[in-house]
Amino acid sequence: MKIIKSFLLLAIIASLAFVSAHKYYVSITKIEYISEKQSVQIITRVFIDDFEKLLKERYNNSIVLNTNTKEDQIDNYIASYLLSRIIISINGKESEIKFIGKEYDGDVVQCYLEVENIDKISSFKIENKVLFDMFSDQKNIVRLKINDRTKSFILIPENNKGMLNF
Amino acid sequence: MNNLKYFVLSALFVTVGVFAQQDQEKKEPQQGHKNENKFKQLYEEFSTPNMYRAASGAPGSAYYQQQADYKMDLVLDDVNAKLSGFETITYTNNSPDVLNYLWVQLDQNMRARDSKTPLIQGSGVSPVAQIGSYANDYMGEGFDGGFNIEEVKDSNGKALQHMINRTMMRVEMPKPLASGAQFSFSIKWWYNINDHVNGRGRSGYEYFKEDDNRAYVIAQFYPRMAVYNDVEGWQNSQFWGRDEFALPFGDFDVNITVPADHVLDGTGVLTNRKEVYSKTMMKRYEKAMKSFDEPVVIVTQEEVVAAEKTKSTKTKTWKLSAKNVRDFGFATSRRFILDMMAVDINGSIKMAVSMYPKEGNPLWEEWSTKAVASTLKSYSRMTFDYPYHKAISVHAKNQGMEYPMICWNYGRPDAEGNYSDRTKFGMMSVIIHEVGHNFFPMIVNSDERQWTWMDEGLNTFVQYVAEQDFGKWYPDALSSGQSSYPSRRGPAANITRYMGGDQNYIASIMTKGLNTYQFGNNAYGKPGTALNILRETVMGEDLFDYAFREYSKRWMFKHPTPEDFFRTMEDASAVDLDWFWRGWFYTTDYVDIGIKDVKKFYVTTKPNKVGANMAKRYGIDEKDLVYFVEEGSDEYSEGMTSESVSEKSTSLKEYLMDNFSAAERATMEEPKYFYSVIFNKPGGLVMPIIVEYAYADGTSKTETYPAQIWRLNDKEASKAIASAKEIVTITVDPKLETADVDTSNNTWPREVKEGEFDEFKNKVKD
């Protein structure tokens, strides 16, 4: 009951000000298609504290991010989580996404994902549900740069997919 | 040397000029336009100076501010988590205007059942909902944390008419309040204290289930006078929850009754310390007043652990008295450990104080009070001597929030007492930040509701300076491998990702805080960084610091506006900064300066085509000219690289003999390499061009071209460089101090840089 309650209140009044802490739930995913490399490069930026909260609740309560130690086990969790929450279909077919790794940048954890062997893109569809299971007002911004076209989506739980046709 | 250099430079400029003219002739008929120059004065944006606010940025000759003095009796009901109060406000109308009514702020009404705060948050229906959230969202009435106003009376006990418009209450007086007159009235109120951890709030309690105790951090808890001034009239912006406050100064006498086993501190001088402190506490307190290096623990962890186990049914009343403060806050619990240390601010002794539940240890006992002391020293150097007698840092989970002399700060180790660097530096930084808020806005009292950046931005800037001091003064606070404090905000390079981001989600700094995107970057990060860049790169520390101190002193215990800040910074430094304010504060433009092209020239006595034509046209002897030939052009030949014109040109030799002494000639360096460098500016912001020229012999020279280089051409600027040594690399902003969002165009020859993704991928492979 306790957990449910805190989850709820958090969601309702999440926009209150807290100095030095961020006040909104948002991630940014940059996706770029590099045709020479036949590669779709994906960089997802998530706030460390949001992600830590999620990993604790979902996998292991003792998880602490950014401790200056090797985080192989944590990387496994992050990989399996992201790959279950980000779904990409290229040319109408669901693509296999590879988790390359992650690094920390200030209060953000930056995750690198890739779809390989894509020689052309005629349609691109992305579903991004990262952290929707944690924060009901989470927003995931997706920025695409494919075939010289750029497009941004703001994905929310009620509308978690974006599509681009060429 | 000088003359020669000039000649060379003007020759290069002539060629550029000719091209520019040809360009223009091709253009279609053009439309006129308004002054869109980046250096245009800010007359349209700024309000007109007047008797209240002078053109210098100082308070004007007729400047006034209202005063609100408070006497309050507060009672905390720990069993029911209720706070009730009886307060008497004495309001002095120092304005030249007659006031028909008074406005009082009821911030707690943001938590009332009929609050409109949830109504302005966008929301949607999720496909699934947890049982609890479903019940609470759609079925329950929710927590009622609004004010219950029991009575509003004048000093004769006669009820006053009042009307509540959400978080504001209008009070009618028996007759209008004349200029210079005073009016006293009292309000009796109570409200339910909220859980600030689970409900996310600034004021409230944290509940500790293990021992059924609460730690209270209480603020914005009493009906507070709104500001009336020359800029806004009555401040009429409602409290929605995220925004902060506009408050007049006044004196406070506050009696707070809490359970007898609580430890309490708050805004003001504790006037009955001997009544509320035990003898042991008094002894430790006296020791703390003489301890300048290490905090003295006044209530120990062991004592707190013992106190947690019982609950006193008796009460104690703590008496606090504060002069010239804009607000009042306090913290109380039987779970608070208390320590203090003395700080010497230019001969005046202040107390640095920390209060924390044991959950804050081992981090808090080690660093909180030292961070407070360090902050008071740094800020006093950057502004004015800290005028209050103490500064308190209270540990509240998940939040940082500031009030006069007291603030709440996060940073909690896990249950085993372990903590990451992120927790440690997060805690130190938030303490420095919140204690720093004593200066902005508690003393330099800007209107936070209207201009978040005026306190958050200025404070984030000084916070950066204070963090760097802290790292120097307490090297033990750093982690292994660190040589300076890892400040999150301040360094120019840390703001580029935000400023170079999607323009749809960026607002200018001059935007009301409630209405802005990316609040943290908008109101804290960008203005803080802009001021740091202004200090270190544009003005220099001496000019900036003098002006910044002048602003702080001018507006100490007063209410400044943005223009007062902008004007003072220029007035006290003789640096025209309209371009800087316009670009950084009024627009969402970003910095991107690059090198578009570099051409290399050699000088020769052999006439080139242009030179020969010119000599003929103006009847000049070809021997009286020297000629520049671009490397690789038709007229270029290998021999030119080693040619010495001063040996070959008789005219030059004669000129040098006629105009310079033998001693002067001996020190002359003959330039051999000539470069025409074209800088371009894809970014909208004008900034100085900082350029590093690296020579073939391994040496380098850095040149700064002031921002005004862009005044006539906002897109491109060119420079002719004459050098005795060959230049091998040219780098714009080599130390990343201008917040250039794209550095891939900053070098010549252009470095092919891998993208961020490939860079990381290669790194992981190794």
pLDDT digits (tens, 9 = 90+) for B48-58: 999 999 999 99
pLDDT below 70 — which residues of chain B? 1-26, 121-141
How open is the CA angle B505-B509-B513, to the nearest 5 degrees? 80
- Asked if residue A123 is part of any domain, the answer here is yes
pLDDT at B133: 57
Token couple for B237: 């912006």
Given CB atoms, is B519 within the 8 Å cutoff of chain A? yes
Token couple for B225: 């006078």
Buried b (16+ CB within 10 A) or exposed e, B461-489: bbbbbbbebbbeebeebbeeeeeebbbbb
| B522 Cβ neighbours under 8 A, 6+ residues apart | B452, B453, B506, B507, B509, B511, B513, B516
pLDDT at B14: 47
pLDDT at B284: 98
Q: Do A8 and B488 touch (CB under 8 A)?
A: no
Per-residue pLDDT averaged across A133-157, rounded?
A: 90
Q: Do A16 and B242 touch (CB under 8 A)?
A: yes
- Asked if residue A143 is part of any domain, the answer here is yes
CB proximity under 8 Å: A 94-133 to B = 100-101, 103, 106-107, 112, 114
pLDDT at B141: 64
Task: Give the number of other Cβ atoms within 10 Å of residue B429's Cβ.
Answer: 25
Residue type, A114: E
Q: Do B133 and A101 touch (CB under 8 A)?
A: no
Strand order in the sheet with B716-723: B627-630, B594-604, B673-680, B716-723
pLDDT at B13: 44
Question: CA-to-CA distance for B215 and B78, rounded, in angstroms?
Answer: 10
Q: Left, alpha or beta for B541 (phi > 0: left; psi -120 to 50: alpha)?
A: alpha
pLDDT at A20: 38
Token couple for B425: 């530096």
pLDDT in tens, B19-45: 444 555 667 888 999 999 999 999 999
- Asked if residue A156 is part of any domain, the answer here is yes
Domains identified in chain A, total number: 1
- Asked if residue A4 is part of any domain, the answer here is no
Question: Is the sign of the CA dihedral B414, B419, B420, B421 positive or negative?
Answer: positive
Token couple for B74: 């507060």
3-state secondary structure of B342: strand
- Asked if residue A10 is part of any domain, the answer here is no
* Domain housing A39: 22-165
pLDDT in tens, B460-505: 999 999 999 999 999 999 998 899 999 999 999 999 999 998 898 8
CA–CA distance from B557 to each of B64, B243, B270, B461, B616 (Å)? Answer: 12, 21, 22, 20, 73
E strands, B279-411, are 296-299, 315-325, 330-333, 337-345, 348-356, 390-395, 401-403, 406-409
CA–CA distance from B726 to each of A104, B641, B673, B719 (Å)? Answer: 41, 10, 6, 16
- Asked if residue A3 is part of any domain, the answer here is no
- Report the residue from B400, B420, B760 with minimal CB separation from A64: B420
CB B492 within 8 A of CB B735: no
Question: Is the sign of the CA dihedral B375, B378, B383, B387 positive or negative?
Answer: positive
Q: How far is A80 from chain B (nearest CA, A)?
A: 18
- Asked if residue A5 is part of any domain, the answer here is no
| B605 Cβ neighbours under 8 A, 6+ residues apart | B623, B626, B627, B643, B645, B648, B649
A39-47 and A108-115 beta bridge pairing:
antiparallel
- Asked if residue A9 is part of any domain, the answer here is no
H helix intervals, B489-561: 496-499, 519, 526-533, 541-554
What rounded mean pLDDT belongs to chain A?
84
Question: CA-to-CA distance for A6 and A135, rounded, in angstroms?
Answer: 11
CA–CA distance from B658 to each of B36, B603, B652, B664 (Å)? Answer: 48, 22, 10, 12
DSSP state of B159: B
Given CB atoms, is B422 within the 8 Å cutoff of chain A? yes
